[in-house]
């Protein structure tokens, strides 16, 4: 299931020429203190890491945009 789910996003990004952030919760989802008490939403402490995860993909694309 996980492989198929992940592959779907890769296929969609390729089909629509869109950027893909592989897993923006990397370094957050399983790290103590990075999730709120509900276990679903990232905490305030997680925000810089989430930004880094997304910016790694988005930043270079914005710099090379016409």
Cα 46 from Cα 27, distance rounded (Å): 9
State pLDDT tens for residues 20-65.
998 899 999 999 999 999 999 999 999 999 999 999 999 999 999 8
CA atoms within 13 A on the CB side of 36: 7
Cα 25 from Cα 43, distance rounded (Å): 11
**What is the SS3 assignment for 35?**
strand
Look-up: residue for tokens 């923006």? 24
Q: Could you tell me the two tokens for 53?
A: 């995860």
This prediction has a pTM of 0.81
Domain boundaries, the chain: 21-66
Question: What is the 8-class DSSP label of residue 26?
Answer: T
State pLDDT tens for residues 3-24.
898 899 999 999 999 999 988 9
């Amino acid at each position: 299931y996980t492989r198929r789910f992940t592959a779907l996003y890769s296929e969609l990004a390729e089909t629509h020429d869109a950027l893909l952030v592989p897993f923006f919760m990397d370094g957050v989802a399983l790290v103590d203190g990075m999730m709120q008490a509900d276990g679903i939403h990232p905490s305030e402490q997680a925000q810089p890491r989430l930004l880094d995860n997304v910016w790694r993909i988005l930043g270079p694309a914005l710099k090379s945009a016409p």
